[in-house]
């Protein structure tokens, strides 16, 4: 579903941040991108999404080259949802208004049907439809940003640190919601994460980046099981 091939990318006329990264993600697969702060995780996601044009290499979605297709066209024509790391909801708008923004371009009946389905799926939002997003907790806002991407029924979902700033309890709730979307809707999900252990707990495969390259690519469960990997790349957290 997603095939990134030998991506090089950077900002303005600055040095390359991505130094030749290849990555794949399939249908009904949750792939996580891990690595230390500043190693290029968000840059990789932005390049896949189309906020940043690769300097070389390419991105394919559903087998089609989309390297130079900007994000708004990807959303419309290639069924892509993207949830950025920060500022992912409009705080001055209500929950309902935020959701409807995600449904732009859909007819009324379709919007209403999907809206109702999301309310059923996420009761925490249903009880706060009329509240401003600023009144939600961090976890509720993450669920809202996820739901806003889902209302367009994407086939590919790109998530940048969905667990940022969440309590351990909310973190599990958000990750369970993400794994649930993969399982029930067969979606292709690429998720950048800081919380490596928790992310590996729900992901199928992982890419660990270092200095703009893929240092490790392995099934999530292998990474979790390997003490050397833990010590080296996951903060030395040995259970």
Ligand X SMILES: Nc1ncnc2c1ncn2[C@@H]1O[C@H](COP(=O)(O)OP(=O)(O)O)[C@@H](O)[C@H]1O
Least Å distance between CB 203 and ligand X? 17
**Interacting span for ligand X (CB under 6 A) from 11-19, 64-72, 168-176, 195-203:** 11-19
d(CA 165, CA 213): 26
Contact 10, 18 (CB under 8 A): yes
Q: E strands of the chain, at which residues?
A: 2-9, 18-25, 29-34, 56-61, 64-65, 80-83, 156-160, 188-192, 205-210, 213-219
Q: Which is nearer to ligand X, 35 or 50 (CB)?
A: 35
Q: Which is nearer to Mg ion, 161 or 204 (CB)?
A: 161
Least Å distance between CB 43 and ligand X? 3
Residues 79, 84, 87: CA angle, nearest 5 degrees: 125
Least Å distance between CB 38 and ligand X? 4
Q: Estimate the crossing angle of helix 168-185 against helix 138-150, to 10 degrees.
A: 10
Partner touching 43 among ligand X, Mg ion, none, CB below 5 to 8 Å by kind? ligand X
Which of 4, 7, 39, 174 touches ligand X by CB under 6 A? Answer: 39
Residues lying near Mg ion in the complex (CB under 5 A): 41-42
Residues lying near ligand X in the complex (CB under 6 A): 11, 14, 17, 35, 37-43
């Amino acid at each position: 579903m997603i095939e990134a091939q030998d991506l090089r990318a950077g900002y303005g006329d600055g040095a390359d941040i991505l130094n030749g990264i290849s990555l794949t993600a399939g249908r009904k697969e949750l792939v996580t991108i891990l690595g230390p702060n500043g190693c290029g995780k968000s840059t990789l996601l932005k390049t896949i999404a189309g906020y940043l044009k690769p300097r070389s290499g390419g991105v394919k979605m559903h087998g089609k080259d989309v390297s130079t297709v900007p994000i708004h066209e990807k959303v419309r024509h290639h069924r892509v949802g993207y949830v950025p790391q920060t500022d992912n909801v409009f705080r001055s708008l209500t929950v309902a208004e935020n959701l409807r923004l995600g449904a732009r371009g859909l007819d009324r009946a379709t919007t209403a049907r999907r809206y109702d389905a999301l309310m059923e799926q996420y009761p925490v939002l249903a009880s706060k439809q009329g509240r401003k997003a600023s009144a939600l907790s961090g976890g509720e806002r993450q669920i809202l940003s996820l739901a806003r991407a889902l209302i367009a029924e994407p086939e590919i979902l790109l998530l940048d640190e969905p667990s940022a700033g969440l309590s351990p309890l909310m973190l599990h709730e958000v990750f369970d919601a993400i794994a649930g979307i993969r399982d029930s809707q067969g979606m292709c999900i690429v998720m950048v994460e800081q919380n490596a252990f928790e992310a590996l707990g729900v992901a199928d495969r992982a890419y660990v980046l270092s200095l703009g390259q893929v240092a490790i690519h392995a099934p999530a469960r292998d990474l979790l099981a390997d003490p050397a990997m833990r010590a080296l790349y996951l903060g030395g957290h040995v259970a």
